[in-house]
Amino acid sequence: MNNNICCKGIHHANYKHRIPSIILSKILLTMKLTVLLTVFTCLQIKASVYSQQVSLSVKKAPLEKIIKEIRKQTGYAFFYDAAYLQNAEPVSLDVRKVSLSEALTKVFERQKFTWEVMDKTIVIKPSMKENKGVADFVQSTTDIKGKVVNERGEPLPGATINIKGTTISTAADGNGDFFLKAVDSQATIVISHTGFKTQEIVVGNRKELNIHLFYAQRDLDEVVVVGYGTQKKTDVTGAISSVNFEEQRDRPYTNALQSIQATVPGVNITQTQGAPGASPNVRIRGISSITAGTNPLYVIDGIPMESFDLNSINPQDIKSLDILKDASASAIYGSRGANGVVLITTRLGAIGKTKVQVGYEHGVQSVKRRVKLMNAQEFIKYYIDARNNAWIANAGNADDPNSVRESKYRIPEEFLNDPQQFGQGTDWQDVLFRTAQSDNLQLSLSGGNDKTQFLVSGSYLNQDGVVDNNNYKRLTFRTNLRHKISEKITTGINLNISAIYDRSYGTGGKEDVVSLALQNDPVFPVYNENGNYGFRDPQSVWYKYTQYDLQLWHPYAITREIDRLQKNFNTMATAYLEYEIIQGLKFRTSINANLYNGRYNDFRNAGQNYGWSAIQPAEGSTNSRFNLNWLSENTLSYKFNIGNDNNLDLIAGYTVQEERNEYSQVISGDFPNDLVHTLNAGKVISGTSTAYEWALLSYFGRVNYNYKQKYFLTGSIRRDGSSRFGMNNKWGYFPSIAGSWLISNEDFLQNRDWIQQLKLRASYGVTGNNQIDNYGAISLMSNRNYVNGSTLANGVIVNTMTNPDLRWEKSEQLNVGLDMLFFDQRIGLTLDLYNSVTKDLLLGIPVPDITGFATQLSNIGKMRNRGIEVALTTKNLTNNLKWTTDFNIAVNRNKVLELGSNGDPIYTNDYGTTKTEIGRPIANYYGYVFNGVYNTQEQIESSPHTANTTPGDPIVVDINKDGVINENDRTIIGNYQPDFTAGLTNTFSYKGFEFSFMLQGVFGNEILNQEARFTKIYNGSRNAYSSVNNYWKSPENPGDGKIFKPSIAYSGLQQQFSNYWVEDGTFVRIKNISLSYAPSAAFLDKVRFFKDLRVYVNVENLHVFSNYSGFDPENSSYSTGLMLGADYGSYPIPRNITFGIKTSL
Amino acid sequence: MKFRNIKGFFPIVYFFFIIVNVGCTKDFLNRNPESNMSTGNFYKSKEDFVLALNAAYSQLYTIYDPLSAMSFCGEQMSDNATIYNIAGNQSEQTAFKDYSLMANNSVVYRFWQEAYKAIFQTNIVISNIQAADLDESFKMQAESEMKFLRALFYFNTVRMFGGVPLVTTPVTELESYGYGRASEEDVYKQIVSDLVFAEENIQEDAPAVGRATKGAVDALLGKVYLTLGDKQNATTYLMRIYNTYSLLSNYKSLWDVSYKNSSESIFEIQYLGGASVPSSRYWPIFAPFENLTIVANGGGMNQVTETLWNEFEPNDVRKDASIFQGYTNRVGKFIEIKFPKKWVDSTAQVINEEEACSNNFIVLRYADVLLMLAESTGDAKYLNEVRARVSLPLYGSASYPSQKYGTLELAIEHERRVELALEFHRWFDLKRTGRAIAVLQANGKNVTNDKLLLPIPQVVVDQNSIITQNPGY
C-alpha cells in the first residue's frame, strides 16, 4: 500500500457516516491536504490505554517505519498521502520517554512536511512553504495526467476514469496512462476496472495521479449478494460463499455451476452426464430430503426459479455467483431455502468509455477413459463357457454337439471350429465415440455514464458431443440496462434470450446408446455385407446368429436412425424501479417473468437398418412444453444510523409468484417410408396434453444491525403460502437469527498488524423444502376406460391418496463460522460447522399395498446433516512470481433420525436395492455379500450355501450366521455419499503468464454399477468387462478368485444385487490445467488496436485416478431420489482441450 | 418524467396495492388440478359412479393380463405351459414354472400390488355408494356388481397366497398397519357373503354388455363352493344357470372376434383393439419370443408343453383350435415350437411393436360350469355335453379312453385340461382336487405342498411385521 492515499491502522468502514462534513471541509481548508478526501477510509481510534510518551532509537530509518512505531506506542492514528512520504528523508533519532509532540517535532525536523494533531489523529501535511495558498486550489481547473496500475505496479489498460457526477470519462491506454482536460480541483474522479476495487480520488491541486487499484477479490470491502440486497462481506453473519466470475474467465463450460465444481466447500457439484449441455447435479450441505427435490433454489437477478436450466444463461454474462449455505442466509427464501440458494448476478457496464469485448474459443473433446471390454476372442470363450456350464448343470457334457442340445445351449459352429475368423472383433466404443469439436464466440458491449449503464452481449456456442451425431448449439442475447431518472428514481431492465438446439443421444442410461454399446457383442462387424447395421437383416449371412441369443444394439441405429432435436427457447426479463423516498429509505418494485418454450421432435426410421434388438416400425413424435413463471416483488428498505455506533438496515417485502406449465405430445405411426419425418406423413397413434400450476405468496422482513462495526446481528422472517400443500397447512413461517463478532475491529487487536480480519459467526434458522408435485396433497384420478361390448366406456381410477395435512419439510440449521485473514491478507481461512435437522420429511412412503396404493406423500421423518467446511487461501508468493493456493475440504455426515409412521425402513428396487433406515445414512446399498468363489465341492459343503451350488459359484456370506443363505443375509454394502470432498487449485503468474491447475477429490463413496448386471455377470450373452476374463474355469484354473463362472442359467444368487456390483467411488481428478498469456501493455500499445488481449489454453478433465470400471466415477444415471449414486451406463465425461483468445477494443 | 414529489410516486404505490390485492384473493393458493380429476368432489352423481364402476371393471385387464398372476399360476405353474427365451430378468419369471420362487421375487410382489389395487377400486365404490343420493335400484345394482368383482379378486388372491389381509373398505396408511393376514376361512366367508349379496340383488340382465350378470354370480359362487368342497351348495348355484346358457357348436369360434359375448360366455373381459382403446395382448405375448414374422415381436410366454399337446385325444378338434405347432421365420424356415392359438387376431393393428388385438378373454364360460356340475354332482352327463360338442366318444361309452381316465374324477380332470386349456384354470383345478403334487411331480416339477402357495412378498413382510410368511419361504 505505498502510493495510495490511506489511513494506516484503521479498518475500512463507511467514512461518510463517521465524520461530519463540516470537520472535513475544515481539514481541507486549513491543512490544504486535498488528498485527504480520497476514500472509504475511516477514523476511529480509541487510544485511552496508550502512553503519551515515546521512545525511539533509529538510524536512517524510513519515515513510514517511524510513523508505525509511534502509532504502536501511542495509539494515535496517522493520516497522510503515502505519495508524499516516498520523498521523505530517512530519519536518525534517539529519544527516550519524550512527549509525543517533542518526538514528532524531531522526526519532522528535516522533512518537507509538518504535522498537526486532530482529535486522536496525527495529520501529516506539506509544509506551508511548499504551497501557494488556500485559494489556489479551492477554485481552479487543471489538466490531469495519470497512470493506473495494479498491485504489482503493472499498467491496467482499459481502466475507466470518470469525473463523478458528470458524463466526462476516459479510459487508460495500453500503458495505463490517461489524460483529463480542465478538471475542477474539487472534482472527484472515479477509477474503476473490472475485477478491481473502485477508487475515488479528489483531484485537488495535483496534475499527476498515480493510481493503484487493488484486486477486488479478498478485498475486505467486497460486496456479496444476499437475498433481497447486498452486504459488505465483513458484515455478513451467515455462511455465504461468493464466487467472483472474473476468476473463472478462461474455463469452458456451458453451465455456470460447472465452473465452481470443487471450489466451494459444502457445495457438491456432480457432472453426472458428460453430454454437452448436461446440467450438473448440485447438492448443498448433503441431502436434506428423501422424496422432495434436492436442488437448490436459483435466484437469477432476483428471480427465484425452481428447477431452472442454468444453461440458458451465458456464463460470460455472470458477474458473481453467491451461494447461501446456512439457514440464516437462506431463510429469507423461506419454503424454498432448505437445499441452499444460488444467487446469480449478471454484469452491468462500468461508467466510462464503451468497452467492446470479444472472445473466441475452440475446443476438442475426446473420451480418454474408455471402459475395458472383452474382444471377440475373449467373448467367444466366455460365451461358450456360459453355455457349457449351464449344459453341464443340466447333465450334459461340454463336448456334446449342438444336435443333442436344447436350442438355448447351442453354440454357433464357427465359435467352436474357427473363432479366429472373428479376429479382435468390433470395439463398439470406437464406433460410438469420436473426437468432437466446439466453437464458442462471445461478444459484449458495456459502458455507460453515471446516469445510465448498460451491457449488451451475445454468444454462440456450437459444441459437438463425443457420442456420434450428438450436438449442442446455443445462442444467447442479453441486455442489462440501468438508468437514473432522477436523483431519487432509478429504473432498469435485464433481458436474457436464449435458444438451445440439443441433439442428444446417450444420456438415457439403461436403454440408451452408451449403456448398450458396452453390452454389444464384439463378434459383429460395424456394417454387414449389405451395408446394414445388424445381424437381423434376413438377407445377411449374419442372420443365422439370431438363433443364438447374441446381442447387438448398433449405436448408429440410434444416433443415425433416430432423428431427434430438442429446441429450448427461454426469455427471462426483469424490470424494476427504485425510489429513494428519503435518504436511506428505498422502495423497490419489480416485475419479472421467465417464458420457456420447448419443442422436441423425434423420428425413428423403420427397422433402424436392422441395428436394433427388434425390427421396429417407423414412428414419430412431437412434444411441446411451455412454462410461464411470473413474479412481482415489492420491497421497502431503510438504512440508517442511530448515533454513530448503531447501524441499521431494514427490509420488508411482499412477493407473488406463479408458474404454469403446459405439455403436449403427439405420436404417429404407420409411416409409408422414412422420407418425411413430420407427423402428417403417418397416422396419429396417440396424443395428450396436460397443464399444471403452482402459486406462492410471501411476506418477509429482515433487520441487519451492527454496533460499531464490531457486533452484527441479523434477524429475518418469511411467511410463505403455497398452492402445493394441503388445505390444513397452506402457510408456514421461516425465521432466522444470526450474529457475528468482528473481533479484529476490537481495540485489543487493533495493533496486531498480522491480522486483517477475524470474525466469528453463529446462526440459526428454519427453511423449507417445497419441491414436490404440484398437487401432492390432492387425491388425483385419471382415466382408465373399460369396454361395454363394442363401445368404449369411460372410467376413472383413483391414482393417489389424499393428504390435507401435507406441508413443507422444515430444516433447522445451526451454523458456527470463523473468517480469518492474516499476514497482509496472504492467508485467508473460512471455517464453518453446521448441524441441520430436517423435520416433517416429505416421504412418498411406501404404504402397505393393501391400501390400494404403493406410496403416499406424507410429512413423516427426520434427518440430520452435520458437517465441517474449510476454505483456505494462501498467497505463497506475491512478487513478480505470484503463487496462490486455494484449498477446500468438506465433510458431511448424514443420518436418518425418524422414518415413516412406525420407523420401517424404505427400500427402493431399481436394478439394485437401497435401504433407508433410522440411525444410518440415507439410501444405503443393500444386498448380499459375495466373498470370492468356491473352488471345490469340499469348500461348498463346509459352509452355508444355496441349493445347487457348484465349484465356480460365488461364496455368499451367511451374514446372520443362521446356516442358511436367504434374503435375511442381505446387508449394507455401501453408500453414495462421500466421506469428504476436497478441491485444490494452484495459480502461478509471472508477468503476463498465468498457469493454474486444479485437483478435485471425492473420497469414501461407493458406486452402484448397474451396468454390472450385464457387463460383470453373464446375462443374455452380452459383452463383459475384460476383467471378467479372470472368471473361474476349473479348480486348477480358478481365475482371480473373485469372478464366478458364467452360465446362461444361474441357479444361485449370482444375478441378485450384491457387493459384486458395488464399486469404490473414490477419485482424484486433475480437473483443470490452464495456461494463459496476456501480452504486456507496452506491446499492446505498439499494436494500438487492442486494449487488452489474452490467449489461453485449457485442459479440462485431464485425468481421473479411480478404480471404477465404468466411464467415470462421477457418472450417475439419476439426478434425484434414492438411486443418486447408481450408474447405468452414463455419458462419459470427456477430456476437453480449449484454445481461446479474448480481447477488448 | 419526474417523480420528485409524492404525487408522482402515487401510481407506483397504487400498483403495489393492486398486486397485494391480487395476492390476497383467497383462491390464489387453491389450485385444482387441471389435467386430473380429484376425489374431493367425486362420488356424488350417477355419472361419477358409472365412471368409477367402469374403472373397477378395467382392473380385470391387469388381473387377467397375459403376464398376470392368473397366467403365471394358472398355466406356468401347472404342466400346461412354460417359457423359453424371454426379455428382461428371466430368473424372476422362470422361477414360477421351476418352483424356485423366493420372497423377494419382484413379479410376485407385482401380483400382490395388482390384486389390492383392483380390490381398492371396488371398495371405494362400495363404501361411497350407500351415502350417495341416488335411486336405490342403481345403488343396489352397482354394489352387487362391485361385490361380485371383489369376490372374484379375493378368490384369485386367496387361491394363490392363502389367507391374505381382508380389506373391505378404503383404509388409510395408518389403519393399514392393523391388517394382518386373515385366515383362508375368513377370506372365503367374505367372498361367499359378497357373492350371496350380489346373487340376491343383482339384476338378471346386466346394464351393459360385459358387466356382471346374475349368471356370472351363480357360476362364480358355484366355483367358490366347489373349491371349498361344499358340493351341495356348488350344485345349487350351478344348477340355477344350467341350460340358461348353451355351448357354441364350433369350439374354435369362442375366441373369434366376431363371436364375442356368445351364448356360452358367462363372464367375459371386453376389449376393442386398435389404438388408444383397451386392446388385448394375449396373442402377441403368447407368440414365440422375437419371432418377428407371426407377430411384430413376440413375448414367448405360456409356450405349450408336450404333455398338454399329448393330452388331447386323437381327433379332438380342440387341439388344433388351441395350439400352434410352429411358425415360419423370415428366411422361410419352419421353427418347431408349440404355442397358444386361441387368441389369434390376424387383423390387429400393430402399435409400439405389439398387435393391439380385439379378442375378449372369457373368465367364466358354460363348458366350465358343465364340468363343475359333473364334479359337484358326480353325474357324467354334464361332462358328456362338453364332449358331445366336439364329437368325442362319451364318457361311459366303449370308445372312451377309459384305460387312461378310469374314474369320473380323472375323466373330468382330463376334460378340463383340454377343454379349458391355457385359459388360466389348470393349476387351480389341480389344487382344488388335491391332485397338484402328484400330477406336477410326475411332470418333473420340484414341488412340495408348501410351494403350492406363493410367498408373501418380502416387502410386505418387511413393511408390517404382523404379516407372516407362508411356510417354506
A781 touches B: beta carbon within 8 Å: yes
B127 touches A: beta carbon within 8 Å: no
Nearest by Cα to A559 from A468, A429, A462, A436: A468
Q: Do A1055 and B278 touch (CB under 8 A)?
A: no
Mean pLDDT across the stretch B37-63? Answer: 88
Cα distance between residue A614 and residue A524, in whole Å: 16
B33 touches A: beta carbon within 8 Å: yes
Helix axes B408-419, B426-433, angle to 10 degrees: 170
Tell me which of A966-970, A1061-1065, B319-323 is least confident.
Answer: A966-970
Flag whether pLDDT at A663 surpasses 80.
yes
Residue A31: the pLDDT is 39
A796 touches B: beta carbon within 8 Å: yes
Measured CA to CA in angstroms, residue A21 lies from A10, A27, A642, A668 at distances of 19, 10, 17, 77
ipTM greater than 0.95: no
Q: In degrees to the nearest 10, what's the CA dihedral of B215, B216, B217, B218?
A: 50
Complete DSSP assignment for A402-414: GGGS-GGG---HH
Cα distance between residue A604 and residue A617, in whole Å: 8
A858 touches B: beta carbon within 8 Å: yes
Q: Do B19 and A656 touch (CB under 8 A)?
A: yes
Query: Which 8-state DSSP code applies to residue A818?
Result: E
Give the distance from residue B171's alpha carbon to the nearest chain A alpha carbon, in angstroms.
6
B153 touches A: beta carbon within 8 Å: no
Give the distance from residue B118's alpha carbon to the nearest chain A alpha carbon, in angstroms.
7
Q: Where are the beta strands (DSSP E) in A203-349?
A: 208-212, 223-226, 229-232, 240-244, 267-270, 281-284, 297-300, 303-305, 318-324, 341-346
User: Cβ contacts (< 8 Å) between B58 and chain A: which residues?
Assistant: 784-786, 795, 797
Q: Do A909 and B55 touch (CB under 8 A)?
A: no
Q: Is A229 helix (H, G, I), strand (E, B) or coil?
A: strand
A967 touches B: beta carbon within 8 Å: yes
A489: which strand partners? A579
Smallest CA–CA distance from A576 into chain B, residue:
B12
Smallest CA–CA distance from B466 into chain A, residue:
A848
Q: Do B51 and A796 touch (CB under 8 A)?
A: yes
- Ramachandran bin of B424, using left for φ above 0, alpha for ψ from -120 to 50, beta for the remaining angles: left
Q: Do B54 and A909 touch (CB under 8 A)?
A: no
Tell me which of A286-290, A521-525, A691-695 is least confident.
Answer: A286-290
What length does chain A have? 1145
Per-residue pLDDT tens digits for B183-229 = 999 999 999 999 999 999 999 888 899 999 999 999 999 999 999 99
Number of Cβ pairs closer than 8 Å across A and B?
A: 250
Q: Do B463 and A781 touch (CB under 8 A)?
A: no
Cα distance between residue B108 and residue B95, in whole Å: 10
Note which residues in 888-947 of chain A have CB less than 8 A from chain B: 901-902, 904-905, 907, 909
Q: Is A29 helix (H, G, I), strand (E, B) or coil?
A: helix
Give the distance from residue A84's alpha carbon to the nearest chain B alpha carbon, in angstroms.
45
Answer for the pair A1115, A273: CB distance below 8 angstroms, yes or no.
yes
Q: Do B210 and A787 touch (CB under 8 A)?
A: yes
Flag whether pLDDT at A844 surpasses 80.
no
Q: Where are the alpha helices (DSSP H) in B130-255?
A: 136-161, 173-176, 184-201, 214-227, 231-240
B336 touches A: beta carbon within 8 Å: no
B337 touches A: beta carbon within 8 Å: no
Flag whether pLDDT at A13 surpasses 60.
no
Give the global pTM.
0.74
Smallest CA–CA distance from A905 into chain B, residue:
B463
Give the distance from residue B226's alpha carbon to the nearest chain A alpha carbon, in angstroms.
27
Cα distance between residue B447 and residue A802, in whole Å: 44
Per-residue pLDDT tens digits for A288-335 = 888 788 889 999 998 999 878 889 999 889 988 999 998 888 889 999
Cα distance between residue A155 and residue A1078, in whole Å: 12
Query: Band of the pLDDT at A1058, cuts 50, 70, 90?
Result: very high
B85: which strand partners? none
Mean pLDDT across the stretch A57-72? Answer: 78
Residue B15: the pLDDT is 56
Q: Do A795 and B51 touch (CB under 8 A)?
A: yes
Note which residues in 461-500 of chain A have CB less than 8 A from chain B: 485-486, 488-489
Q: Which of A488, A685, A788 sits opposite B270 (nearest CB)?
A: A788
Residue B233: the pLDDT is 96
Q: Which of A614, A619, A789 sits opposite B210 (nearest CB)?
A: A789
Cα distance between residue A976 and residue A16, in whole Å: 53
Q: How many CA atoms lie within 13 A of A214 on its CB side?
A: 16
A9 touches B: beta carbon within 8 Å: no
B408 touches A: beta carbon within 8 Å: no
A-interface mutation test, from B13, B21, B38, B109, most A Cβ less than 10 A away: B38
Measured CA to CA in angstroms, residue A45 lies from A22, A751, B41, B290 at distances of 20, 11, 72, 88
For residue A192 the three cell numbers come to 474503476
B446 touches A: beta carbon within 8 Å: no
Flag whether pLDDT at A595 surpasses 70.
yes
Q: Do B353 and A616 touch (CB under 8 A)?
A: yes
Non-local (6+) Cβ contacts of B136 within 8 A are: none
Flag whether pLDDT at B140 surpasses 60.
yes
For residue A18 the three cell numbers come to 463517521
A1063: which strand partners? A1007
User: Cβ contacts (< 8 Å) between B463 and chain A: which residues?
Assistant: 846, 848, 904
Cα distance between residue B126 and residue B169, in whole Å: 8
A653: which strand partners? A635, A700
B-interface mutation test, from A542, A660, A851, A1055, most B Cβ less than 10 A away: A851
For residue B256 the three cell numbers come to 373369434
Answer for the pair A697, A721: CB distance below 8 angstroms, yes or no.
yes
Nearest by Cα to A131 from A199, A201, A208, A33: A33
Mean pLDDT across the stretch A468-474? Answer: 96
Note which residues in 56-95 of chain B have CB less than 8 A from chain A: 56-58, 60, 84-85, 89-91
User: Cβ contacts (< 8 Å) between B177 and chain A: which residues?
Assistant: 848, 901-902
Cα distance between residue A39 and residue A189, in whole Å: 11
Q: Is A1062 helix (H, G, I), strand (E, B) or coil?
A: strand
A664 touches B: beta carbon within 8 Å: no
Complete DSSP assignment for A434-494: --EEEEEEEEEEEEE-SSEEEEEEEEEEEEE-SBTT-EEEEEEEEEEEEEESSSSEEEEEE
Cα distance between residue A982 and residue A969, in whole Å: 35
Give the distance from residue A101's alpha carbon to the nearest chain B alpha carbon, in angstroms.
53
Distance of CA A415 to the CA centre of its chain: 51
Q: Do B29 and A634 touch (CB under 8 A)?
A: no
For residue A323 the three cell numbers come to 451461494
Flag whether pLDDT at B358 surpasses 70.
yes
Please tell me which residue, A115 or A930, carries the higher pLDDT value. Answer: A930
Per-residue pLDDT tens digits for A703-755 = 999 998 889 999 999 999 999 888 888 899 999 999 999 998 888 877 777 88
Smallest CA–CA distance from B48 into chain A, residue:
A796
Flag whether pLDDT at A853 surpasses 80.
yes
- The dihedrals phi and psi of A194, each to the nearest 5 degrees, come to -55, 135
Cα R_g (chain B), whole angstroms: 27
Answer for the pair B439, B416: CB distance below 8 angstroms, yes or no.
no
Q: Do B91 and A1055 touch (CB under 8 A)?
A: yes
For residue A1006 the three cell numbers come to 461407493
User: Cβ contacts (< 8 Å) between A853 and chain B: which residues?
Assistant: 117, 120
Query: Band of the pLDDT at A930, cuts 50, 70, 90?
Result: very high
Give the distance from residue B398's alpha carbon to the nearest chain A alpha carbon, in angstroms.
41
User: Cβ contacts (< 8 Å) between A613 and chain B: which residues?
Assistant: 290
Nearest by Cα to A678 from A619, A611, A737: A619
Cβ neighbours, 10 Å, residue A51: 12
Q: Where are the alpha helices (DSSP H) in A639-750?
A: none
Smallest CA–CA distance from B166 into chain A, residue:
A850
Per-residue pLDDT tens digits for A40-49 = 222 333 333 3
Per-residue pLDDT tens digits for B176-189 = 889 999 999 999 99
Q: Beta strand pairing status for A160-163 and A188-192?
A: antiparallel
Residue A48: the pLDDT is 32
B438 touches A: beta carbon within 8 Å: no
